[in-house]
Amino acid sequence: MDDAPVEYPIDGVLDLHAFNPSDVGSLVPEYLRACRAKDIRQVRIIHGKGTGALRRSVHAILDRLDGVARYETARDASHWGATIVHLV
């Protein structure tokens, strides 16, 4: 297995389906920092619907981050399967 870092596009959409749930705690803040560096102020985090555990984890992380102005569940068809984050 190759443990080399994988380049992920910084485009304002983070799909967590591609990552191990144990990486979310460091991944989300890192991705949001990269978005702010590119002046991307609205980020869509796709966590899926499932049991809601990953959504709750993402929201708990967002609650602790200073650069987050607010967040909400998506208002489109994905609804509670994605969170929209507004950065300061």
- Kindly list the distances between the CA atom of residue 87 and the CA atoms of 3, 11, 18, 49, 54, in Å, as whole numbers in the listed order: 31, 14, 23, 23, 20
pLDDT tens for the 88 residues of the chain, in order? 567 777 889 999 999 998 999 999 999 999 999 999 999 999 999 999 999 999 999 999 999 999 999 999 999 988 899 999 999 9
> What global pTM score does this model have?
0.91
Residue 82: strand pairing partners: 46
In angstroms, the CA 74 to CA 16 distance is 15
pLDDT at 1: 55
Structural domain boundaries in the chain: 13-87
pLDDT at 10: 97
- CATH architecture type of domain 13-87: 2-Layer Sandwich (3.30)
In angstroms, the CA 59 to CA 85 distance is 10
CB proximity list for 40: less than 8 A, separation 6 or greater: 10, 11, 12, 87
